[in-house]
Amino acid sequence: MYLSVGSKAPDFTLADQDGNPVTLSQFRGKKVVLYFYPKDNTPGCTRQACAFAQRYGAFQEKQAVVIGVSKDSTASHRRFADKYELPFLLLSDPELTVLQAYGVWQEKKNYGKVSMGVVRSTYLIDETGTIVQVMPKVKPDTNAQELLELLG
């Protein structure tokens, strides 16, 4: 189940693509675009990441930090970031702690087969650490632009 608008975003610490610990609360004072995606180097996830990368300057102008989270390893994230020149943080959550805390680890149906996986979703968190927008089941091609519009 997704978290609610108006609730505090659960704090966490995960390793980034270089293995460095990143804590959500270190970004207090900035807006945070926290997007969850299924898997590095898959078509939809690549399109979504590249759309954020193309608009990264605009996010910076709006004092917003972009953070992608999946269960892939830090090494996978590093290859993904290098291949597509991604300028933002990619965090690794192999234990599914954050994916579950934010309600994006859900049952999915694919060709009649049911399995657990990441539902592509995005949270917009304000400068105080409060969730101001929940975007479940986002489209990889429009997610970045929608967030820029929300940021004004």
CB atoms within 10 A of CB 45: 21
Residue 3 lies in a domain: no
Taking the CA atoms of residue 81, residue 27, residue 60 and residue 69 in that order, the dihedral angle to the nearest 10 degrees is 30
Mean per-residue pLDDT, 116-130 = 96
Specify if 134 maps to a domain. Answer: yes
Q: Are 3 and 24 in contact (CB under 8 A)?
A: no
Tell me which H or E stretch contains 66.
strand 64-70
Residue 1 lies in a domain: no
Query: What is the amino acid identity at position 130?
Result: T
Q: What is the pLDDT of residue 66?
A: 98
Kindly tell me if the per-residue pLDDT of 152 is higher than 90. no
**Domain annotation covers residue 17:** yes
Active-site position among 24, 45, 65, 118: 45
pLDDT at 148: 96
The CA distance from 26 to 32, in Å, is 11
CATH number of the domain at 85, please.
3.40.30.10
Q: With cut-offs at 50, 70 and 90, classify the pLDDT of residue 111.
A: confident
Look at residue 146 and tell me if it is in a domain.
yes
Retrieve residue 30's tokens: 């900035």
Residues 6+ apart with CB under 8 A from 99: 36, 69, 71, 93, 105, 118
Position 19 confidence tier, pLDDT thresholds 50, 70, 90:
very high
Answer yes or no: is 130 within a domain: yes
- Number of folded domains that form the chain: 1
**Res. 102 pLDDT band, cuts 50 70 90:** very high
Q: What is the percent of the chain with per-residue pLDDT over 70, rounded to a whole number?
A: 100
DSSP state of 26: G
Q: Which domain holds residue 114?
A: 13-150
Active site residue 50: no
Given a cut of 90, is residue 109 above it in pLDDT? no
Q: What is the pTM of this model?
A: 0.96
Q: Stretch 12-33: mean pLDDT, rounded?
A: 98
Average pLDDT along the chain: 96
